[in-house]
Structure 1
Amino acid sequence: MIPVMSNSGSGNQGISATLPVVIYAEENEKTEEELIRALMMSHLTVIYIKQSLGRLSALCGCVVAATGSSCGITWLMGGGFPQVASAVQNMIANLTGMICDGAKPSCALKVASGVSTAVLSAMMAMENRCVTSVEGIIDQDVDRSIRNLTLIGSQGMNETDKLVLDIMTHKE
């Protein structure tokens, strides 16, 4: 057993918000200050999203945490606010709706999906490629896209949460 950095009360979310940023920084020989700044961006982004989502949601928290990682990685790649906002938009467009079923092995798979999408979203953002407001729940303003994501997670997935719990408690 080793300690992990948690985020919003979750070790898996902490891992998702931390380790991809650390690995990217190490592999690209970033300074300690750059790493610290990128980690702060990652964790604060996750907290910003989670504060509108609420404590419990059927929406996978690791995907939200990977969105933070995408921001930190984009910044480490040399991105400014436009690129970081694009990375968030790409993450929301790609992974909104992934459910949390509380199962640890499947959670690890969701972490892997979130992290790989975080890197893809960062790379796309650095190439100025972003899902536009013509598509789905994405808005021109990144804060509105985050609001759309959290509305889906906090209100829209209420029935999903009940159904997931029902399935889990009635297995034969």
Structure 2
Amino acid sequence: MNAQKLANIFHMTDTVWARHANPWSVWTRYGSLPLLIGAIWSRVWLSWGALIPTLVVILWIWLNPRVFPKPNTTRQWASKGVIGERIWLNQKQVPIPSHHHPVIAFTNTINAIGFGICVWGLWSLAPWPTVLGLSWVILGKTWFLDRMVWLCDEMAECHPQYQNWLY
């Protein structure tokens, strides 16, 4: 599934994007994946009852970009990362510089490999692959967001719409 389809599933309107630029939204989403892993792992103790905490975490992941207020400023790292994601998703309308593509592809590859390892660990109830996969996902996501900050800084210099997202 591509990133734009995922954004559409999450119904990321301009208002939701603006609220998601709040650093509290960004940093609490980092905690969502370990919570989701714990909820899925709880099937060992809760059997089908593990669906309840799993669904609660999935609901939180959907609600997260909506529950925090629009930040007072978007000049911090986490906010620029979110703005960079918007710019990246908008690249069909406004192309991004080509030097970003290889690094973005690499970070997404790290994330995908980590996700696969993590799923395998969860499926087999093996702690080490689960934790290893989680660490790769977090590494890939953090590197991706760092690249999005760079993209935000670079593209905001050239496009008035993107300049308006920085305040």
TM (norm. structure 1) is 0.29
Structure number with bigger Rg: 2
Greater helix content: 2
